[in-house]
Structure 1
Amino acid sequence: MRHQKSGRRFNRDTNARKALMRNLCTSLLESGRITTTEAKAKELRRWVERLITTAKDQDLSARRRV
């Protein structure tokens, strides 16, 4: 059973999901606004919030991670 599992699957395997989120993050950060579905936007929000939190650190490793 799939109880208490976080994240959406979007009918894709793991690598395709990661690639989708990476590309959406990149597009959002470069252009500031993107058009996508509501479900993808909600999942993307989790990824972008983590990136923003990491980017706030003022050290070299944080810049490399972002």
Structure 2
Amino acid sequence: MAPLPTPPAQPDDNPDTYLGLAPEEAERAATERGWSTVRTLPPGSIITMEFVQGRLNFEAKDGLVTRCWIG
């Protein structure tokens, strides 16, 4: 039987530090801090709500990150 995969590490990072940044800058900083998956979404996007270890989500409006959450 194959071993269970190891989930990506989740950095010890405060999502609020990305608020007010340009999405490109926030994505670059998040990747540098160790997030394995970073995605930027427009406000009101329909997304699934499953939790993904190591993923950081941004909601951006008018060229700025307005919301950030883990998973």
Q: Same fold (TM over 0.5)?
A: no
Structure with higher RCO (Cα < 8 A, 6+ apart): 2
Structure number with higher helix proportion: 1
